[in-house]
Amino acid sequence: MTTETVQINPTIIKAFVHSTKNVLSTMANTQCTIGKPYLKEKNTSHYDVSGIVGFTGEIIGSVVISFTSEMAIKLVEQFTGENYTADSDYFADAVGELSNMIAGNAKSEFGLTAGISIPSVIIGTNHSVARMSDVPCVVIPCETPYGKMAVEVNVKCVG
Which stretches of the chain bind a copy of itself, using CB under 8 A?
42-43, 46, 50, 52-57, 60-62, 64, 87, 89, 92-93, 95-96, 115-133, 135, 154
Q: How far is the CB of 37 from a copy of itself (least distance, A)?
A: 19
Residue 55's SS3 state is: strand
How many other β-carbons are positioned within 10 Å of the β-carbon of residue 147? Answer: 15
Pick the closest to residue 153 from 68, 42, 67, 37 (CA basis): 37
Return the number of the residue (21 or 156) whose C-beta is nearest a copy of itself. Answer: 156
CA distance 21 to 12: 14
Q: Helices 69-80 and 10-28 sit at what angle, rounded to 10 degrees?
A: 60
Return the number of the residue (5 or 25) whose C-beta is nearest a copy of itself. Answer: 5
Q: What is the DSSP letter of 131?
A: P
Return the number of the residue (15 or 116) whose C-beta is nearest a copy of itself. Answer: 116
Q: How far is the CB of 31 from a copy of itself (least distance, A)?
A: 27
Measured at the CA of 42, the angle between CA 38 and CA 47, to 5 degrees, comes to 80
Return the number of the residue (27 or 103) whose C-beta is nearest a copy of itself. Answer: 103
Return the number of the residue (57 or 147) whose C-beta is nearest a copy of itself. Answer: 57
Q: How far is the CB of 84 from a copy of itself (least distance, A)?
A: 12
Q: How far is the CB of 145 from a copy of itself (least distance, A)?
A: 25
Identity of the amino acid at 54: G
Q: How far is the CB of 33 from a copy of itself (least distance, A)?
A: 26
106 vs 14, 19, 73, 74, 128, CA distance in Å?
A: 8, 5, 23, 23, 23
